[in-house]
Amino acid sequence: MVLLTSCSSTLHIPTQEISLADHQASVQTKLLKAKIDFLANKGISIGQQDPTAYGIDWKASTQNWYRSDMHDVMGKYPAVQGWDLGHIELGDSINLDTISFDLMRRQIIEGHKRGTITTLSWHLDNPQSNGSSWDTTAAVKTVLKTGINRSKYVGWVSKLATFIKSIKDDNNNAIPIVFRPYHEMNGGWFWWGVKICTPEEYKALFRDLVKLLSDFEVHNILYAYSPNTLNNPQEYERFYPGDKFVDILGIDIYNHGGDASFAEKLQKDLGLLRQFAQAHNKTFALTETGNVAPGNPNWWTKILYPGIQETGIAWVLFWRNARKNHYFGIYPGAVSATDFRNFAQKKEVIFLEDIDQFTFKSQNKIQ
Ligand code: BMA
């Protein structure tokens, strides 16, 4: 049993009753699951990818190392902060989007101190061709069991494990994170995607990774499964590795085809996700979203909000603000900045600074 206390209340969390994909998950990881579930009951946490490393026209610097476009717009940081581990497998010091892994680690640690929920994705290279994640040379079979790239791949996972274990709090405990490997498998663009990998191979790949990471003694992970928007209702289940290997269910839905089709996708897919999640007793989230062609000044309150309101999602994560022709969150001066502030006023919308009011701020006492 763990007690989470704050100035206003005490929450009793029977951690022994929380069972996760990793049977040896740490108490901190179980608490993260409890925190996510608690917040999911209160509202929708707002997330962003790479939020504090860079934004539109700036990069984190020694003088100003903890900034975010969202904070610049309305004075609050995202409650959920995502990062990508692509190229950790190569032993590189920077990720595929040129964020230094040292900076990433420091920012995750700082985020954790402030109460952030961290999620990690992994755009790893193609182990067969050494091309990028988007190189669809067949590769999944080659990394499993006796495949020709097995030992190379185990080496890659070992580097991933070392990094994830190295993100520690002041008490030397590994900071718990949500890991969302092999996402958007029902799209044809990644080497683990439907174009060149069967559902059975995919499931084997996912399960194998859960096992390898546990063998490498990584016990600070909640595992998330997240397909891309669905082409049919059966697709969600088609690649599902199973309840024993997944802690959180996700889905990635972008505004690609215009506001009307996006609104319809949100309604359909989040409805299916909710049904699936209820049947499998799992927490669920909109693990990536964004407006690919931003232009509607009222997109946040008129399109996104009605589509996510009362859907039961724990969080919504906007993808990265890379540059003016590739951004998904908000930034000062963006055409919809005022509308974002209005969206932020909705009572169920949770930013990092709002988490405090609910508890979780203070010390965990393990009894
Ligand atoms: C994609 C794009 C890419 C990026 C990748 C990993 O969706 O943003 O530019 O490299 O995510 O962050």
Percent of the chain predicted with pLDDT > 90:
90
Lookup: tokens for 43:
């509202």
What pLDDT sits at residue 361? 42
* Residue nearest atom 4 of ligand 1, based on CA coordinates: 97
* Packed helices 199-215 and 150-165: angle between N→C axes, nearest 10 degrees: 50
CB burial readout 143-153, b (16+ within 10 A) else e:
beeebebeeeb
What pLDDT sits at residue 272? 98
C-beta 84 within 6 A of ligand 1: yes
Residue 327 has pLDDT above 80, yes or no: yes
In this predicted model, which residue has the larger pLDDT, 356 or 66? 66
CA distance 77 to 82: 12
Lookup: tokens for 92:
């590189």
Give the least confident one: 80-94, 303-317, 344-358: 344-358
CA distance 36 to 40: 6
Mean pLDDT, residues 56-81: 95
Which ligand 1 atom is nearest residue 86's CA?
Answer: 6
What is the per-residue pLDDT across 211-244, written as a single tens digit (0 to 9) for each? 999 999 999 999 999 999 999 999 999 999 999 9
What pLDDT sits at residue 363? 43
Confidence grade of residue 335 (pLDDT, cut at 50, 70, 90): very high
Mean pLDDT of the chain: 94
Residue 366 has pLDDT above 50, yes or no: no
State the distance from the centre of ligand 1 to the C-alpha of 309, rounded, in angstroms: 27
Q: Which residues pair with 225 in a beta bridge?
A: 249
Lookup: tokens for 205:
């790949």
> CA-CA distances (angstroms) from residue 233 to 9, 263, 270?
42, 17, 11
C-beta 184 within 6 A of ligand 1: no
What pLDDT sits at residue 64? 85
What is the per-residue pLDDT across 268-326, written as a single tens digit (0 to 9) for each? 999 999 999 999 999 999 999 999 999 999 999 999 999 999 999 999 999 999 999 99
Task: Name the pTM for this structure.
Answer: 0.96
What pLDDT sits at residue 367? 42
Give the least confident one: 251-255, 338-342, 361-365: 361-365
Q: Provide the residue type at 336 as one letter.
A: S
State the distance from the centre of ligand 1 to the C-alpha of 258, rounded, in angstroms: 21
Mean pLDDT, residues 3-26: 79
C-beta 282 within 6 A of ligand 1: no
Q: Decide if 248 contacts 221 (C-beta within 8 A).
A: no
CA distance 348 to 227: 25
Q: Decide if 171 contacts 119 (C-beta within 8 A).
A: no
What pLDDT sits at residue 328? 98
What pLDDT sits at residue 16? 87
State the distance from the centre of ligand 1 to the C-alpha of 326, rounded, in angstroms: 9
* Alpha-carbon Rg for the chain in angstroms: 19
Q: Decide if 156 contacts 94 (C-beta within 8 A).
A: no
C-beta 123 within 6 A of ligand 1: yes
What pLDDT sits at residue 5? 55
Which ligand 1 atom is nearest residue 123's CA?
Answer: 6
Residue 122 has pLDDT above 80, yes or no: yes
C-beta 96 within 6 A of ligand 1: yes
* Residue nearest atom 3 of ligand 1, based on CA coordinates: 97
